[in-house]
């Protein structure tokens, strides 16, 4: 079983839609959680960290459920510029900060 699993998509949504991405992780020693965004042929960029209490940054909301080992990202009012691949990322306790990446979920926002 892969350590971080995501639906690969693609998710094709119209502008203005709300879209949700889900991610599950298998290692209970996971201690830090992130969503990164990666544009085509570019480097991953940190979108947001995910905290146990949930956190919001503008149109983006991230949730963490430790009991279910599940992370989510909600994007409201989708923009064309949100089109990208979204990577779910975890860090294991005691791993020197090494990150484990999901394969990503591709989002395409259409006019």
Partner 1 sequence: DAGITQSPRHKVTETGTPVTLRCHQTENHRYMYWYRQDPGHGLRLIHYSYGVKDTDKGEVSDGYSVSRSKTEDFLLTLESATSSQTSVYFCAIRDGTSGSYEQYFGPGTRLTVT
Measured from the CB atom, the residue of 60 and 101 that comes closer to partner 1 is 101
- In the complex, the smallest distance separating the C-beta of residue 45 from partner 1, rounded to whole angstroms, is 7
- Does residue 97 belong to the site contacting partner 1 (CB under 8 A)? yes
Measured from the CB atom, the residue of 73 and 78 that comes closer to partner 1 is 73
Closest residue by Cα to residue 32 from 85, 77, 89, 81: 89
**Token pair listed for 96:** 């020197």
| Cβ-count burial 14-52 (b if 16+ within 10 Å, e if not) | eeeeebebebbbeeeebeebbbbbbeeeeebeebbebee
> Which of 27, 69, 103, 108 touches partner 1 by CB under 8 A?
103
> Which of 11, 25, 34, 86 touches partner 1 by CB under 8 A?
34
- Going by the DSSP 8-state scheme, the letter that residue 1 receives in this structure is -
Name which of residues 69 to 88 contact partner 1 (CB under 8 A).
87
């Amino acid at each position: 079983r892969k350590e971080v699993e995501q639906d690969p998509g693609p998710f094709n949504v119209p502008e203005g839609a709300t879209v949700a991405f889900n991610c599950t992780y298998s290692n209970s020693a996971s201690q830090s959680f992130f969503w990164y965004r990666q544009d085509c042929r570019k480097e991953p960029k940190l979108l947001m960290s995910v905290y146990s209490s949930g956190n919001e940054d503008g149109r983006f909301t991230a949730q963490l459920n430790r009991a279910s080992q599940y992370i989510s990202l909600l994007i409201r009012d989708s923009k064309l510029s949100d089109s990208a691949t979204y990577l779910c990322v975890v860090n294991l306790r005691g791993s020197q900060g090494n990150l484990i990446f999901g394969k990503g979920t591709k989002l395409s926002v259409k006019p």
